[in-house]
Structure 1
Amino acid sequence: MEMEKASVICKLFGDKTRLTIMKILDSQDCCVCELVEIFQVSQPSISQHLRKLRDIGLVKEERRGQWIFYAMNKQHEAYAFVQTILVNLPDQDDKLKELEEKGIRITCC
């Protein structure tokens, strides 16, 4: 991978929210509403983070009915590089489990 591309990814991962989103998306697809609930921030804020990740191709989106779900793009040329970073981070599955316990997992507005 080129240094320029690695630098762009590292800059994006310099934001804790984006880094956490990527760790979550490493194991689960999520819609914006779920991420809004997890981070307790506005929908436009989460959408802005996702847009930055999507613009460089690290995240892909898929429409399911009226909702758009986001997932890590495992076909991206930098996927192996991203994995070397994410594998060393704490698991974030508890955030999704908490949504399930509240009964709001995949319940979008």
Structure 2
Amino acid sequence: MNETVTIDIQRASQLLKLLGDPTRLTMMQLLKSHECCVCEFVEIFNMSQPAISQHLRKLRDIKLVKEERKGQWIFFSINKSHEDYSFIQSILEQLPKQDESIEKLEVQGLRVCCE
């Protein structure tokens, strides 16, 4: 049963602006079903670590993603308890899955390259 939850226009606009960046939108789609660390995103997006960290900081600042320290590494996941998760989820459900990016990392032996 899908419960319709409305959010105000200002909040929706803020979220859509944040997710309007293709890198952040793809990150959210990946995090929907996979925990990832910065080094994995560096490989997936072929971007520098500081650029990836900047994208993640923006998502973390409004609590769309959460982080968990495992040893010296930090893994990110989507925050399913976020007040606007149902809104975000409805957007992500319209997008193609990104599992192939994770599968490529696994084939290359880079899936958890930071452990």
TM-score normalised by L of structure 2 = 0.92
What's 1:80 paired with? 86
Q: Distance in 2 between matches of 1:81 and 1:40?
A: 29
Query: 1:42-92 deviations in whole A, cap 9, x for unaligned?
Result: 000000000000000100000000100000000000000001100000010
Match of 1:103 among 91, 106, 109: 109
Percent of aligned pairs with the same residue? 60
- Count of residue pairs brought into register by the alignment: 109
What's 1:42 paired with? 48
Deviates more, 1:53-62 or 1:2-11: 2-11
- Structure 1: which 4+ aligned runs deviate by more than 4 Å? none
Structure 1's unaligned 5+ residue stretches are none
What's 1:24 paired with? 30
Matched residue type, 1:93: D
TM-score normalised by L of structure 1 = 0.97
Larger Rg: 2
Match of 1:4 among 7, 10, 16: 10
What's 2:69 paired with? 63
Matched residue type, 1:39: F
Query: 1:2-54 deviations in whole A, cap 9, x for unaligned?
Result: 22111111001110000000000000000000000000000000000000000
Structure 2's unaligned 5+ residue stretches are 1-6
Q: CA deviation at 1:108?
A: 1.6
Q: Distance in 1 between matches of 2:30 and 2:88?
A: 13
